[in-house]
Amino acid sequence: MKQPLPSRPRPLVSALRAALVGLTLAAPLALSLAQPAHAQSAPLRSFQIAPGALDTALTSFAAAANITLSFAAGQARELRTDGLNGEYTTESGLARLLAGSGLEAVHRGQGNYVLRPAAKADARALDGDEKMLGSVRVTANQLGEITEGTGSYTPGTIATATRLVLTPRETPQSISVVTRQEMDDFALTSIDKVMEHTPGVSIVTYDSERTEYYARGFAIQNFQYDGIPMRRDSSYSAGNTLTDMAIYDRVEVLKGATGLLTGSGDPGATINLIRKKPTKEFQGEASLGAGTWNNYRSQFDVSGALNPAGSLRGRAVAAYQDKHSQLDGYERKTSTFYGILEADLSPSTLLTVGADYQDNTPTRSTWGGIPIYNRNGDFNDMPRSFNNGASWSSWKQYTRTAFATLEHTFANDWLLKAQFNHQINGYNYALGSAAADYPNPADGSGVSTWEGKDVGKTVANAFDVYASGPFELLGRKHELVLGGSLAKRTWTNRGYWAGNNSVTNYYTWNGNIPQPDWNSLEATHSREVTRENGVYAAARFNLRDDLKLIAGSRLVNYENATLKKSGVVVPYLGAVYDLNDQYSVYASYTSIYKPQSAQDVKGKTLDPLAGVNYETGVKGSFFGGRLNASVAYFRLDQDNYANATGALTPSGGTAYEAIDGVRTKGFEAEVSGQLTPQWQIHAGFNHKIARRQGDKVATLTPENQFSLSSTYKPGFVPGLSIGGGARWQDKTWGDVSHPTQGTVKHTVDSYWLFDAMASYQIDKNLSVNLNVNNLLDKKYYTIFSWYSTYTWGEGRNAMLTMKYKF
């Protein structure tokens, strides 16, 4: 008895029936607004920086060049430079000062630069009168800046929206990023924990092994791994929401429709998980943790060069967690392994290969939750420790991934990148639970079990290739991305249903019932193959120094057993206008689509559901990009919704008509990064209301949410960090079954949750971290209306972790 997924998107207006319509419409505007060539040329300045200490020279250069250059104390300490004497651009001057230091300056936009270790040094040395210096390429730069080691709660650059590597301020969509530092500080070791800390994302719990993430009123089924799209089927969960975070550098959540790169899907959001990358310098860490309810965790991570030249680099990560919980008899063992190699085939060509592996093996899994009402129609108030699962109930899930990337940078700064991802998401569950019907409060009778078994997997292969780089038009430099992708997903399943059996007394249930003889039952077999391919293009037009226009489109072909759709156009349009050095205003129109198999009275398949997102807002970047803030207003529509007409198709099936679907309106505010050198913050407030035909929908998720995570390093205790978090959500409700009144509305009150953390750096290698979740032990629950059940949230729990870096 698995929850079906009722969401579906829509087609696009005929005026956009051209694959590159965004580029076509934008070009005349670019021509009319373009400025003369000299306006975009990098100016030369005269510098006289004496040889000596690098940190002093950099400070003098930043003042003379009128830029903001950020670097950590000690990052350039004890390093020296030959200085400068002559005319340089900002980029060539920085490169000359940093030559031989192992450091590089990365431009974050608007005159803001950040200093970081160079992944690969450029061997060319230029004379002082040369205008340009070949850029030093950062490993995995095409995915954005690595957050590991920055100590920051905000990203540098990201590429999830368009494949263009942009700062958050330059991206005309709302995006939330949870960095490696935030994950480490708050022990966010699972993707569920990361989503709890992500502004604008809410979680609905089905049972112990299944959660669903929602944004802007829609379930998030679109996942990406290093930018390669993968889809999730939450009815047959297979590892996506059990992902261990040991192998990831950061998690990016792009809000709204994301069809330019993901193709098909729902319009709420896309989750992009960016893997850790190898380092040239040797580094490693090992950690051990223990927590409430016999929760134990170990992790090992080692990285470095594998040859003297540093042209071959590798990284290996392993994690193991044995986690019990507040549920009686429940336990989940999770093992995770990850390996990655990077090889410089030439100074301009990088090959990356890797694999990851995760097993999740639970004991006494629940299936569904606790019935909301008892036989008398009162709230069925059970202990937080109550487990409805049978003693043999277990929903095992696993993932196996292999990936490879080849990228080549040409002398004209163009990049060609090809990426392949092979992923297996599998499950093997035998489930039994006491979850059906209403218990009699007098003697616990009236409840029956669900008992079923499924074994299946989804094998997905995805290939993406694109070229990106600058081009000149009317004397100004612009950016272009041209690409294409292929994807094939094959889902197979073998299922058994053992029916329902009566439970003698629900209130004394301990799960001790015999497991069915599955081999004696007739199995049902399912197989679905989905193919999707498309080409896409996006250009960032530099209309003026303070105005950028991003226009693009994707042309999609889709095929499964019942539907073949080709030539679907998915447009993208966004503009960013800089008000000054700190603030920008933006507006965007983004879209996504989802095929559907429903037919009308003539037997014609309805057009794909289409999701479109209209968004406008203000973004700010402060302290050299170390603090980012945004406020956005959005309207999100999903149309061509399949509505049953009561008539029949020519083949005798139910006939549907396409109607306007769900419309969500709302606003989001978010801030992330460094308020002071000692104070990091990530906070957000979100409001949304979703309706279909005037009635509110998506009410299992709150209309209003607030989240805050913050840490502070007091100067009077060196090595100490203290912090905490607060999460609030508005009331939620859903239509559920009632024993005497039929279908009723059940409301869950709003609630606050508070967390706390403290860490202490004992010496340069050893640190200890304490995290306490639900500090005030708030008793709260969430409902799942499809099952008419509820699930208790976790009570107060703590985790103590010791980490050794070497």
Q: Tokens 């999903």 identify what position?
A: 638
Name the nearest CA neighbour of 78 among 97, 56, 61.
56
DSSP 395-458: EEEEEEEEEEEEEEE-TTS-EEEEEEEEEEEEEEEEEEEEEES---TTTS-S-EEEEEEEEEEE
Going by pLDDT thresholds of 50, 70 and 90, the confidence category of residue 91 is: confident
Residue 413 φ/ψ region, left for φ over 0, alpha for ψ in the -120 to 50 degree band, beta for the rest: left
Whether 9 is covered by a domain: the verdict is no
Output Rg (C-alpha) for the chain, integer angstroms: 27
Do 181 and 293 lie in one domain? The reply is no
Query: In this predicted structure, what is the pLDDT of residue 132?
Result: 29
Cβ-in-10-Å burial (0-12, 13-18, 19+) of 126 comes to middle
Do 251 and 367 lie in one domain? The reply is no
What is the tens place of the pLDDT at every residue in 621-632?
Answer: 998 889 999 999
Name the nearest CA neighbour of 509 among 430, 429, 393, 391.
391
Query: In this predicted structure, what is the pLDDT of residue 77?
Result: 61
Q: What average pLDDT does the structure give for the chain?
A: 87
What is the tens place of the pLDDT at every residue in 382-441?
Answer: 999 999 999 999 999 999 999 999 999 998 889 999 999 999 999 999 999 998 899 999
**CATH number of the domain within which 106 lies:** 3.55.50.30
- The residue ranges of DSSP E strands in 606-653, in sequence order, are 609-622, 627-639, 641-648
Provide the edge-to-edge strand list for the sheet that holds 68-70: 68-70, 112-117, 103-109
> Quick check: 605 pLDDT over 50?
yes
Do 385 and 445 lie in one domain? The reply is yes
Whether 144 is covered by a domain: the verdict is no
What three-state secondary structure class fits 282?
A: coil
Query: In this predicted structure, what is the pLDDT of residue 303?
Result: 96
Tell me, what DSSP letter sits at residue 544?
E
- What is the average pLDDT across 100-126? 64
- What is the average pLDDT across 365-378? 94
**Whether the Cβ atoms of residue 293 and residue 324 lie closer than 8 Å to each other:** yes
Cut 0.75: pTM above it? yes
Whether 152 is covered by a domain: the verdict is no
Whether 140 is covered by a domain: the verdict is no
> Quick check: 6 pLDDT over 60?
no
What is the tens place of the pLDDT at every residue in 743-758?
Answer: 999 999 999 999 999 9
Of the residues 258, 275, 292, the one at which a domain ends: 275
What is the tens place of the pLDDT at every residue in 469-498?
Answer: 999 999 999 999 999 999 999 999 999 999
Out of 27-36, 334-343, 395-404, 608-617, which region has the weakest mean confidence (pLDDT)?
27-36
Name the nearest CA neighbour of 781 among 773, 796, 792.
792
Chain centre distance of CA 632? 19
Whether 575 is covered by a domain: the verdict is yes
Residue 615 bridge partners (DSSP): 588, 634
> Quick check: 188 pLDDT over 80?
yes
How many C-beta atoms surround the C-beta of residue 373 within 10 A? 21
The secondary element (H helix, E strand) that includes residue 547 is: strand 547-559
What is d(CA 327, CA 293) in angstroms, rounded to the nearest whole number? 9
- The amino acid at 376: N
> Quick check: 145 pLDDT over 70?
yes
DSSP 718-763: TTEEEEEEEEEE--EEEEEEETTTEEEEEEE--EEEEEEEEEEE-S
**CATH number of the domain within which 562 lies:** 2.40.170.20
Cβ-in-10-Å burial (0-12, 13-18, 19+) of 117 comes to middle
What is d(CA 63, CA 67) in angstroms, rounded to the nearest whole number? 7
Residue 401 bridge partners (DSSP): 356, 423
**What's the domain range around 630?**
14-20+276-805
Query: In this predicted structure, what is the pLDDT of residue 760?
Result: 96
Of the residues 229, 248, 275, the one at which a domain ends: 275
Name the nearest CA neighbour of 256 among 606, 549, 665.
665
What is d(CA 297, CA 291) in angstroms, rounded to the nearest whole number? 9
Whether 107 is covered by a domain: the verdict is yes
Name the nearest CA neighbour of 332 among 454, 187, 190.
190
> Quick check: 777 pLDDT over 90?
yes
Do 250 and 282 lie in one domain? The reply is no
Going by pLDDT thresholds of 50, 70 and 90, the confidence category of residue 74 is: low
Do 438 and 472 lie in one domain? The reply is yes
**Whether the Cβ atoms of residue 708 and residue 726 lie closer than 8 Å to each other:** yes
What three-state secondary structure class fits 518?
A: helix
What is d(CA 484, CA 461) in angstroms, rounded to the nearest whole number? 14
Which is more confident, 45 or 78? 45
Do 309 and 371 lie in one domain? The reply is yes
Indicate the number of domains in the chain: 3
- Joined tokens for residue 204: 């609905």
Whether 199 is covered by a domain: the verdict is yes
Query: In this predicted structure, what is the pLDDT of residue 124?
Result: 33
Query: In this predicted structure, what is the pLDDT of residue 108?
Result: 61
What is d(CA 350, CA 345) in angstroms, rounded to the nearest whole number? 6
**CATH number of the domain within which 238 lies:** 2.170.130.10
What is the tens place of the pLDDT at every residue in 193-224?
Answer: 999 999 999 999 999 999 999 999 888 989 99
What is d(CA 317, CA 109) in angstroms, rounded to the nearest whole number? 33
**Whether the Cβ atoms of residue 397 and residue 238 lie closer than 8 Å to each other:** yes
Do 217 and 351 lie in one domain? The reply is no
Residue 24 Cα distances to 31, 35, 155, 417, 534, angstroms? 12, 20, 32, 25, 19
Name the nearest CA neighbour of 423 among 405, 400, 404.
400
Name the nearest CA neighbour of 248 among 224, 282, 215.
224
> Quick check: 657 pLDDT over 90?
no
Looking at the chain, the whole-number percentage of residues with pLDDT higher than 90 is 66
**Side-chain-side CA neighbours of residue 78 (13 Å):** 2
What is d(CA 673, CA 303) in angstroms, rounded to the nearest whole number? 27
- What is the average pLDDT across 453-464? 95
- The amino acid at 644: A
**Whether the Cβ atoms of residue 640 and residue 675 lie closer than 8 Å to each other:** no
Do 216 and 281 lie in one domain? The reply is no
Of the chain, the end-to-end C-alpha distance in Å amounts to 49
Q: Write the secondary structure of 686-713 as one string of H (helix), E (strand) and C (coil).
A: EEEEEEECCEEECCCCCCEEEEEEEEEC
What is the tens place of the pLDDT at every residue in 217-272?
Answer: 888 989 999 999 888 887 788 888 999 999 999 999 999 999 898 878 888 999 99
Do 269 and 313 lie in one domain? The reply is no
What is the tens place of the pLDDT at every residue in 548-589?
Answer: 999 999 999 999 887 888 888 999 999 999 999 999 999 999
- The amino acid at 803: K
Query: In this predicted structure, what is the pLDDT of residue 119?
Result: 52
State the sign of the Cα–Cα–Cα–Cα dihedral 435, 441, 444, 447.
negative
Query: In this predicted structure, what is the pLDDT of residue 10?
Result: 35
Name the nearest CA neighbour of 428 among 453, 401, 400, 405.
453
> Quick check: 298 pLDDT over 90?
yes
Query: In this predicted structure, what is the pLDDT of residue 111?
Result: 67
Residue 584 bridge partners (DSSP): 578, 619
Going by pLDDT thresholds of 50, 70 and 90, the confidence category of residue 73 is: low
Going by pLDDT thresholds of 50, 70 and 90, the confidence category of residue 615 is: very high
Of the residues 70, 100, 128, the one at which a domain ends: 128
Query: In this predicted structure, what is the pLDDT of residue 593?
Result: 86
Most confident range, picked from 29-38, 97-106, 462-471, 559-568: 462-471
Name the nearest CA neighbour of 9 among 613, 645, 514.
613
Provide the edge-to-edge strand list for the sheet that holds 218-219: 202-207, 210-215, 218-219
- What is the average pLDDT across 1-8? 39
Question: What dihedral do alpha carbons 232, 235, 237, 243 form, nearest 10°?
Answer: 60
Name the nearest CA neighbour of 479 among 488, 470, 492.
470
Provide the edge-to-edge strand list for the sheet that holds 248-255: 175-179, 248-255, 269-275, 222-225, 228-231
Residue 324 bridge partners (DSSP): 331
What is d(CA 272, CA 483) in angstroms, rounded to the nearest whole number? 19
**Whether the Cβ atoms of residue 291 and residue 798 lie closer than 8 Å to each other:** yes
> Quick check: 183 pLDDT over 90?
yes
DSSP 125-145: ---TT-S--PPPPPTTGGGB-
The secondary element (H helix, E strand) that includes residue 241 is: none
Query: In this predicted structure, what is the pLDDT of residue 529?
Result: 94
Chain centre distance of CA 647? 42
Do 271 and 282 lie in one domain? The reply is no
Residue 577 Cα distances to 171, 545, 580, 589, angstroms? 11, 9, 9, 15
What is d(CA 409, CA 413) in angstroms, rounded to the nearest whole number? 6
Query: In this predicted structure, what is the pLDDT of residue 604?
Result: 85
**Whether the Cβ atoms of residue 3 and residue 206 lie closer than 8 Å to each other:** yes
- Joined tokens for residue 364: 């006494």
What is d(CA 667, CA 531) in angstroms, rounded to the nearest whole number? 36
- Joined tokens for residue 648: 């029949």
Name the nearest CA neighbour of 8 among 267, 257, 223, 231.
267
Pairing verdict, β 295-305 and 312-324: antiparallel
Going by pLDDT thresholds of 50, 70 and 90, the confidence category of residue 301 is: very high
Whether 340 is covered by a domain: the verdict is yes
Name the nearest CA neighbour of 399 among 625, 239, 267.
239
What is d(CA 271, CA 338) in angstroms, rounded to the nearest whole number? 20
Do 533 and 671 lie in one domain? The reply is yes
Query: In this predicted structure, what is the pLDDT of residue 127?
Result: 36
Tell me, what DSSP letter sits at residue 579?
S
Name the nearest CA neighbour of 793 among 200, 203, 184.
203
Do 106 and 189 lie in one domain? The reply is no
> Quick check: 331 pLDDT over 70?
yes
> Quick check: 371 pLDDT over 70?
yes
- What is the average pLDDT across 283-304? 97
What is d(CA 332, CA 685) in angstroms, rounded to the nearest whole number? 33
